[in-house]
Chain A
Amino acid sequence: MQRRALRLAFLLAIAIIGLPALAQQGHPLTGTWSGDWGPAAAQRTTVTFVMNWDGKNVTGLINPGPDSIPLTGIFLDVTTWTVRFEADTKDASGKMVHISAEGKLEDIGSYHRTIKGSWQQGTVKGDFKLTRD
């Protein structure tokens, strides 16, 4: 048990120590971001963003896979490092719902940079936080 725990701790440490080696130093939004949004601390929905800078625009989607949601707009204001996302999805009844989120990019030089801000999905308002993987 002790040996197993030690091995687990070692692997955990190595995995996290390795993170700086994976730090992406190019466009601050490029990459995969994980986090959640919700109207309250107890009501959270996990989200994954994948974004890419092509030299003219940042494109991307939410939750890659069969139910992915294309981001219709990603707007970065580099004077304040604020970013706004626009997307459209369907609710449980199949009705179109607009997503609008705006947040601030923080600790942009770090591999664990974050985007934190407000999120509105249809009539539901909440907050979100994304951390770059």
Chain B
Amino acid sequence: MKKIIAVAAALLLLPAARAHHSFSATYDSERQLRLKGTVTRIDWVNPHAYLFVNVTDPNGTMTNWAVEFGNPLELERDGWKRTSLRIGDVVAVEGVPARGDRKEAFAKSVVLDRTGQKLFVASAKPRAAAARQPAPRWPDGQIRLGPPPGKKGYWGAASASALVENAGSPIAMDRDGLLKNLADAARVAPFLPWARALYEYRQRTLLKDDPFARCLPPGGPRQFQTANGFQFIEQRELGRILVLLGGGDRNWRAIYTDGRSQGQADEVVRTYYGNSVGHWEKDTLVVDSIGFNERFWMSNGGLPHTEALHLVERFSRPDFNTLKYEVTVDDPRTYTRPWMGGWTIQWVPDEEIQEYFCEENAETTFVR
């Protein structure tokens, strides 16, 4: 019975695994670390690849370190493979240690001792951009949100790391939406006092409670900011558009364009992506969504919301390579007034969204 309880207790620790973590919450950029040791294990899994290294200190004590060294999909795009490194290789790692006393680090460089080769370096060759051309259209003239017939591609990186109100000068923040200056919080959105206090708490605690870091879906505008992009599947004959997400836990959202009316907010089943109905206004897809649950952060950086959240999103494609995303946030229980934000997203030509299951690491990497 004790063994069974021990197994159950071990399972309980799993949610704490940082499957897709906030960098700032996990690593201490103020410190540097150098390690040299023998590779004991390689986890070539999404969203973060890890190598494990036995490091012996001057006293002869051996410690096993977990070293994160990149996203396997990006590494493979740059020509690296799992076999670029082998168990038993000796490597020198320079990087940033984890916060606290965990034996974990993020590698800035990994050098193979026997050859001196620097491994897992990003390719200097820029990713090929699609040639400048107008946005593709359906035979009836309507803009296509996906690739033209016979072509591949998907929407990749967003131009902004977090949703902020379209007003005033840019707000400095890192890729996780962590403000460089917490005093800028008031400029991010017109928060009600409780919402601003909660947003600031999330910022001060380095986004440690982010549900997305536990592989929960990135509902709201955040779905268009996650790593590994997204794709629109326009099922015109079914009157719907599916948004397939390459990041997060790889789920999807349906936008109904069959002319149905929006449901009553009190009656819809509350979900991460809400109940979305869309229509075209000339070349812009306008999507109205209600029925969100409160289990996600709607943007990197920790913007709060309530079940009263109502989003109106506008998608347009001014040219082949660019998707313009604008959103109006209306949640009178969280914000003093409706407000708008948005960003652009770049087309990744001639590639498919690759497999990227957030759950992978939660199950494998941190069970040591």
Q: Point out residues on A near B: beta carbons under 8 Å.
A: 5-6, 9-10, 12-14, 16-17, 19-28, 30, 53-55, 76, 78-79, 81, 108-110
Contact = CB atoms under 8 A, between A and B. Distances in A.
B153 interface: no
Nearest to A29: B194
Given A27-B334, A53-B306, 18 more contacts: A5-B1, A9-B8, A13-B12, A14-B11, A19-B15, A20-B211, A20-B216, A25-B211, A25-B304, A26-B307, A26-B334, A27-B306, A78-B197, A78-B198, A81-B197, A109-B201, A109-B209, A110-B209
B15 A20 contact: yes
B198 A108 contact: yes
A30 B193 contact: no
A78 B334 CA distance: 14
B314 interface: no
A86 B368 CA distance: 48
Contacts of A79: 197
Nearest to B7: A9
A88 to B, nearest CB: 26
Contacts of B8: 9-10, 12-13
B183 to A, nearest CB: 16
Contacts of B108: none
Contacts of B15: 17, 19-20
Interface string B192-222: 1110111001100100110100101000000
Size bracket of the B interface = 35 or more
Interface stretch (B112-120, B133-141, B291-299): B291-299
B108 to A, nearest CB: 29
B240 interface: no
Contact of A28 (B1, B192, B194, B208): B194
B295 A22 contact: yes
B333 interface: yes
Among A9, A30, A76, find the residue whose CB has the most chain B CB atoms closer than 10 A.
Answer: A9
Contacts of B197: 78-79, 81
B238 interface: no
B216 to A, nearest CB: 6
Nearest to B195: A27
A21 B216 contact: yes
A20 B24 CA distance: 21
B5 interface: yes
Contacts of B208: 109
A26 B7 contact: no
Contacts of B14: 17
A54 B12 contact: no
B332 A25 contact: no
Contact of B12 (A16, A23, A27): A16
Interface in B1-49: 1, 4-5, 7-8, 11-12, 14-15
Nearest to A108: B201
Q: Which 8 A-B residue pairings sit nearest by Cβ, starting from the closest?
A: A109-B209, A26-B294, A78-B197, A55-B333, A13-B8, A13-B11, A26-B306, A9-B8
Contacts of B294: 24-26, 30
25 contacts: A10-B8, A13-B8, A13-B12, A14-B11, A17-B12, A19-B15, A20-B211, A22-B295, A24-B295, A25-B294, A25-B295, A25-B296, A26-B294, A26-B304, A26-B305, A26-B306, A27-B194, A27-B306, A28-B194, A28-B198, A53-B194, A55-B192, A76-B194, A81-B197, A109-B201
Contacts of A108: 198, 201
Contacts of B297: 25
B196 to A, nearest CB: 8
B308 interface: yes
Contacts of B12: 13, 16-17
Contacts of A6: 4
Given A24-B294, A54-B333, A108-B198, A5 B4 contact: yes
